[in-house]
Amino acid sequence: MVSQRKNNKPKLIVVLGPTASGKTSLAVLIAKKFNGEIVSADSRQIYKGLDIGTGKATKKEMRGIKHHLLDIENPKKIYDVARYKDLADKAIESILQKGKLPILCGGTGLYIDAVAKNIAYPNVPQNWKLRESLETKSADELFSELKKLDAKRAKTIDKKNKRRLIRAIEIVRLTGKKIDTLKENPKYDVLLLGVKKEPLELEALIFKRLIKRIKQGMIAEAKHLHKKGLSYKRMTELGLEYRYLAMLLEGKIKKNEMINKLNTKIRQYAKRQMTWFKRDKDIHWVASEKEAEKLISEFIGKNTLLA
RNA sequence: GGCCGGAUGCCCGAGUGGUUAGGGAGCGGUCUGCAAAACCGUGCACAGGGGUUCAAUUCCCCUUCCGGCCU
């Protein structure tokens, strides 16, 4: 049951779920039915040319529904949440302007939350020079440095996670200010729909999809990307399929080995996604499109009734 | 039949007469601009039976199984 609180914020539907759960087709269906457009919340589909490996919707699968935030960056460049949030808000705004229903769809929990909860990240851009120099230090050293600079942040941070430690130090060093507590003040009235799949079913779906991707030419896609200048190092950073495809192309692993290991990695990724989603008690887990439609109808109708 | 080498947790794989590696998988988790990333926690063992010893996964003997060589 959707909560019946009254507000006049614009409505946003979010379709989320683990990889291979079938988010895209559900989102398209919803868009068709409720006159919507889709905003992707996928940190890798952002990139041009990463198509088969990321499972980017094809023209045909889109069924005439407009998709935003796909293919907006060169895969050589590193993207990030802050930039994503900015563009997502703009896309949503433009959809609303047209009088249509915005549907945020993807599996990147961080990106989804940034938009759905309107999280304001500290306004400090990456300083790659600084990062490079900090990278040479150990986690322990970084931690004690952070402790000196911002004791409060040091208390909650992952002591062993260099990447996080470096960013935290970057913020204090560049602004001289300590990190504020993150503010959440949603600008949309959000309905969160999670695509529910039983673990075993999801496992099967993942494997099936992996085999399908290989048949569709995922290996050739990676070869082509590399020929166009995408380094194996960068492909490794991109993770999952591209990481393993890079290993294959470099001759570090055999095809069979790639399939097996990659399959495991994708499964683990799906688990990590679920770990993230599980924390959000507002998600309505739906097992069918009917359930989803019902919830959306209620959700959309509620303000008209109350207003 | 004879000789030799093995037998370690779900898998790979070190090692030691007492403090009982390390990976991977599994399971659980973290999340303040790289998030398909980064990071953390965790159960599970020494083939079986006898010895020797204060103490054996580690030394000795036997049995079983596996691999190699010989007849």
* Interacting residues of A74 by C-beta distance below 8 A, sequence separation 6+: A47, A48
Rounded CA separation A262/A107 (Å): 18
- Under the banding of pLDDT at 50, 70 and 90, the label for residue A24 is very high
**Does the pLDDT value for residue A236 go beyond 80?**
yes
pLDDT at A8: 83
| Top mean-pLDDT range of A45-54, A123-132, A152-161, A165-174 | A45-54
Q: List, as one string, the DSSP characters of A30-42.
A: HHHHHTEEEEE--
In CATH terms, the fold of domain A11-120+184-306 is: Rossmann fold (3.40.50)
Tokens of A60: 């045909």
Rounded CA separation A88/A110 (Å): 13
Q: Is the CB of A186 under 7 A from strand B?
A: no
pLDDT at A307: 37
Rounded CA separation A187/A89 (Å): 10
Interstrand relation of A67-68 and A11-16 (parallel, antiparallel or unpaired): unpaired
How far: A274 CA to B66 C1' (Å)? Answer: 44
pLDDT at A305: 47
Residue recorded with tokens 């895969």: A75
Strand intervals (E) in A62-172:
67-68, 101-106, 119-120
State pTM to two decimals: 0.91
Domain ranges of chain A: 11-120+184-306, 128-181
Q: Which residues 155-174 of chain A have a CB under 7 Å from nucleic chain B? A: 156-158, 160-164, 166-168, 171
pLDDT in tens, A73-118: 999 999 999 999 999 999 999 999 999 999 999 999 999 999 999 9
